[in-house]
Structure 1
Amino acid sequence: MAQVFHPRSGLYAKLAMLAFAMLLAAAIFAWRSVTAEPESESEAVEQPVPFSHQHHVGEVGIDCRYCHAGVETDAFAGIPPVSTCMTCHSQLFTDQPPLAPLVESWRTGVPLRWNRVYDLPGFVYFDHSIHVAKGVGCVSCHGRVDRMPLMRRVAPLSMKWCLDCHRHPERFVRPREEAFAMDDREPGDDDALGMHLVDAYRIDRRRLTDCSVCHR
């Protein structure tokens, strides 16, 4: 009788099953890496100049938009050019050692290389301007920066964290004129106002959880 299957067909089948199991395990691991919540807040990120939001925002009272000029119009909030810093520091504390890299950058024209605190993976699309336009405040994602001597990340940036807001926008939106306010308002403090703002700002909650909103 002729042999129907190759003598090694059993081995090939086992290898195929093993490869499938490994691929499935890798996919599960990747999914958990994206969606898992971190156990704690990130530590402060080292920068070429020890810029203090606590001093500039909390004590001096500089508005977020003075430095992050694109936050209302662009996807990226923007890192201030050295010329913005030197508006004040050409006169104030210019000779202080911590500001030496800033002064050198201004003198030579070589830009400072700031280290990102919030860095989304390339497969995620995020637009600052639309969030600000819909009444999402800075503190919702960045925390009380006015209390941070050095900037640190307080939001996990996981898919679950994003979806919590997209599924219940009424808990997070605020009047647009309060988007840049630093306060300790908790999500859902005023659900009635939140529902009103969702309608007033034409937030289409039916589309907020579509994959294409964040993955394009």
Structure 2
Amino acid sequence: MQVFSPSADTWLRAGLAALVVVVLGALLVMAGYADSTYATQAGWAKDQDVPFSHKHHAGELGIDCRYCHAGAETHADAGLPPTHVCMTCHSQIWTGAPMLAPVRRSLAENRPLRWHRVAQVPDYVYFNHSIHVKRGVPCVECHGRVDEMPLSWRAHPFQMQWCLDCHRDPAKRLKPPEQITRMDWSNWSDAQAQRYGTAAIRRWHIDTKKLDNCGICHR
């Protein structure tokens, strides 16, 4: 007595092939999503209660990054500008501007401004601004040309591989710490950057073999 029909083997092969195609397709879709700007939010501007322009403040006016992000040199968190920092200037200029109404309301009600973070790593990732700044990683390396951003967007994906690329080859990214907020390094050749970075690694006794250890960022 025949249990399976003559076409059973064909159907089995076709089913297995379809399963493989579905699994591979799902993996490709997941990988594509993980690298998409929708997932990483790279290049996306964040809506803010106050439409702050880095292009105007940092670019045109030349205000140093640390004026608003005062914790960058001393704390793990660079910090976001409190109301009194904004009002240092805006108690004198643009005092009635509608777009600055949230700042004036914040001052009147003694409530902090609500900023939506543009550059943010997951809670399970430890990142210390101060050590990067002190060793000479310029703001532009992570945040991009904020001096050209009318509205702030995430310049890089902030994925683990992106961080590891820097940790495994930090030399070419290091610059003089006293120029940490400089945006344009186009007059530095690759060879010049490499020479400076190699010397900086020796000066700061940076062990590059340990920079990609899991415990550096996951504590």
Deviation at 1:97, TM superposition (A): 0.5
Residue 95 of structure 1 pairs with residue 91 of structure 2: no
Q: Quick check: 95-104 or 38-47, which moved more?
A: 38-47
Q: Counterpart in 1 of 2:78?
A: 77
Q: Counterpart in 2 of 1:131?
A: 132
Q: CA 1:76–1:44 in structure 2 vs 1: closer, same or farther (change >3 Å)?
A: same
Q: Counterpart in 1 of 2:180?
A: 179
Question: Alignment partner of 1:180: what SS?
Answer: coil
Question: Alignment partner of 1:122: what SS?
Answer: coil
TM-score computed with the length of structure 2 as normaliser: 0.79
* Equivalent pair of 1:74/1:129 in contact (CA under 8 Å): yes
Q: Counterpart in 1 of 2:16?
A: none
Q: In 2, distance between residues paired with 1:125 and 1:197?
A: 23
Question: Alignment partner of 1:206: what SS?
Answer: helix
Deviation at 1:37, TM superposition (A): 3.9
1 or 2, which has the higher helix percentage?
2
Q: CA 1:111–1:196 in structure 2 vs 1: closer, same or farther (change >3 Å)?
A: same
Q: CA 1:154–1:112 in structure 2 vs 1: closer, same or farther (change >3 Å)?
A: same
- Structure 1: runs of 5+ lacking an equivalent: 1-24
Q: Counterpart in 2 of 1:104?
A: 105
Q: In 1, distance between residues paired with 2:52 and 2:197?
A: 34
Q: Deviations along 1:109-162, whole A, 9 cap, x unmatched? A: 121211110121111100000001111000000011111111000111011100
Q: Deviations along 1:41-75, whole A, 9 cap, x unmatched? A: 32211100000111111111111111110000000
Q: CA 1:104–1:210 in structure 2 vs 1: closer, same or farther (change >3 Å)?
A: same
Deviation at 1:187, TM superposition (A): 8.9
Q: Counterpart in 2 of 1:207?
A: 210
Q: Counterpart in 1 of 2:15?
A: none
Residue 156 of structure 1 pairs with residue 157 of structure 2: yes
Q: CA 1:87–1:122 in structure 2 vs 1: closer, same or farther (change >3 Å)?
A: same
Structure 1 segments of 4 or more deviating over 3 A?
A: 31-34, 36-41, 184-189
Percent identical pairs in the alignment equals: 49
* Equivalent pair of 1:68/1:80 in contact (CA under 8 Å): yes
Question: Alignment partner of 1:156: what SS?
Answer: coil
Q: Counterpart in 2 of 1:20?
A: none
Aligned residues: 188
Q: In 1, distance between residues paired with 2:118 and 2:173?
A: 22
Q: In 1, distance between residues paired with 2:116 and 2:189?
A: 29
Q: CA 1:180–1:189 in structure 2 vs 1: closer, same or farther (change >3 Å)?
A: farther
What letter matches 2:217 in structure 1? Answer: C
- Structure 2: runs of 5+ lacking an equivalent: 1-23
Q: Deviations along 1:89-124, whole A, 9 cap, x unmatched? A: 011101011001111111111212111101211111
TM-score computed with the length of structure 1 as normaliser: 0.80
Deviation at 1:184, TM superposition (A): 4.2
5 Å-filtered alignment, 1:11-160, equals 36-39=34-37, 41-160=42-161
Q: Quick check: 105-114 or 140-149, which moved more?
A: 105-114
Q: Counterpart in 1 of 2:11?
A: none
Deviation at 1:204, TM superposition (A): 1.3
Q: In 2, distance between residues paired with 1:134 and 1:188?
A: 19
